[in-house]
């Protein structure tokens, strides 16, 4: 039976589900999760644990800021609001964690 022929209540393997792509908000969200994992704020889905790598988090935040700058004027209003919010929230969390970590 092909995936199209399966009934609605029948479970489908994950391999049958379409992969999301081409969605700007989802792309930004994925990068945001990478930063949160790097800051140790959420569990790494691979290791099921938390660890902090602030240099890696800073790199992801820098990438998001570059992307925001390069796409300025080319986004839908909701996309612009989303990337602004994600970047601002990540920067706020990063500064708090960096202050707690103290000087290197």
Question: pLDDT per position in the chain (104 positions), as tens?
Answer: 454 555 566 777 766 766 556 789 999 999 999 999 999 999 999 999 999 999 999 999 999 999 999 999 999 999 999 999 999 999 999 999 999 887 76
Whether residue 63 is contained in a domain is answered as yes
- CB of 64 within 8 A of CB of 32? yes
For residue 13, give the DSSP letter.
-
Residue 46 belongs to domain spanning: 20-101
Whether residue 9 is contained in a domain is answered as no
Whether residue 4 is contained in a domain is answered as no
Predicted pLDDT of residue 1: 46
pTM above 0.85, yes or no: no
Whether residue 69 is contained in a domain is answered as yes
Whether residue 48 is contained in a domain is answered as yes
Task: State the Cα–Cα distance between residues 70 and 72, nearest whole angstrom.
Answer: 6
Nearest by Cα to 24 from 60, 71, 57? 71
Structure tokens at 30: 């994925």
Whether residue 1 is contained in a domain is answered as no
Structure tokens at 37: 């994992």
Number of domains in the chain: 1
């Amino acid at each position: 039976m092909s995936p199209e022929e399966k009934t609605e209540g029948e479970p489908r393997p994950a391999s049958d589900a379409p992969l999301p792509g081409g969605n700007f908000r989802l792309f930004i969200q994925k990068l945001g999760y990478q930063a949160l994992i790097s800051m140790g704020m959420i569990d790494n889905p691979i290791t099921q644990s938390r660890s902090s790598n602030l240099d890696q988090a800073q790199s992801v935040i820098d990438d998001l800021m570059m992307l925001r700058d390069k796409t300025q004027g080319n986004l839908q209003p909701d996309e612009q609001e989303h990337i602004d919010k994600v970047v601002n929230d990540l920067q706020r969390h990063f500064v708090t964690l960096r202050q707690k970590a103290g000087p290197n």
